[in-house]
């Protein structure tokens, strides 16, 4: 399955809620969910009871969209989480939160995870002083994530730096805006994650 390249607002409307895929735009009246509540292709709102399987599928699709993960990769995360001794749902979210593109987003280096993924892909981000261009790279406590020195001189990087802070940095991370670097203080815990995902439904979906 190829990566979705259409309008992000359609994904939010399909989910029936804001997934905050477009940064600041999601907080303005221009947000697609605010303007058109119906799912794409549906003119009138239909009242139809969703089955348990449908709810589980929708929650799985929602978390994949939020973190920008394809099905094969997401299934690997599920398999790893199922092997852990802790609750499968908690471990799943922890693995997703530890992705480098998500950490770049959480540190406020990007307005959205899509933008963060581009920054990583284009080689603007370093981990422990070394360039890492793999969005799925899994960060570890004690590592430092920052901008490559040459990238900090670029105009778009200065614009991003000038806009910080746009959001609160979670407690498992620390940020030094002056040098555009952040540190991984510890592993993320369930209380640190604000995506509103019901992991129980996802675990049930894959347990069948």
pLDDT tens digit sequence for 27-78: 566 666 566 666 665 655 565 778 999 999 999 999 999 999 999 999 999 9
pLDDT at 165: 80
**Is 15 a residue whose pLDDT tops 80?**
no
pLDDT at 184: 98
pLDDT tens digit sequence for 111-153: 999 999 999 999 999 999 999 999 999 999 999 999 999 999 9
Q: What is the CATH number of domain 8-96?
A: 1.10.1050.10
pLDDT at 53: 92
Encoding tokens for residue 14?
């399909």
pLDDT tens digit sequence for 142-189: 999 999 999 999 999 999 888 888 888 999 999 999 899 999 999 999
Domain boundaries, the chain: 8-96, 99-186
Domains 8-96 and 99-186 share a fold: no
Domain 99-186 fold = 3.10.290
């Amino acid at each position: 399955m190829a990566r979705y390249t259409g309008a992000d607002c359609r994904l939010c409307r399909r989910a029936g809620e804001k997934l905050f895929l477009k940064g600041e735009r999601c907080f303005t009246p221009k947000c697609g969910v605010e303007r058109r509540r119906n799912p794409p292709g549906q003119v009138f709102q239909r009242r139809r009871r969703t089955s348990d399987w449908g709810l589980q599928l929708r929650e799985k699709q929602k978390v994949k969209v939020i973190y920008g993960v394809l099905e094969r990769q997401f299934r690997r995360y599920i398999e790893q989480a199922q092997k852990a001794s802790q609750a499968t749902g908690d471990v799943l979210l922890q693995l997703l939160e530890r992705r480098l593109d998500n950490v770049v987003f959480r540190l406020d280096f990007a307005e959205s995870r899509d933008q963060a993924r581009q920054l990583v892909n284009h080689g603007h981000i370093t981990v422990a002083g070394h360039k890492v261009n793999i969005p799925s790279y899994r960060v570890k406590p004690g590592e430092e994530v920052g901008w490559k020195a040459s990238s900090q001189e670029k105009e778009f990087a200065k614009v991003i730096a000038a806009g910080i802070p746009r959001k609160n940095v979670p407690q498992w991370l620390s940020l030094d805006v002056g040098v555009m670097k952040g540190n991984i203080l510890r592993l993320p815990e369930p209380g640190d994650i604000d995506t509103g995902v019901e992991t129980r439904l996802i675990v049930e979906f894959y347990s069948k």
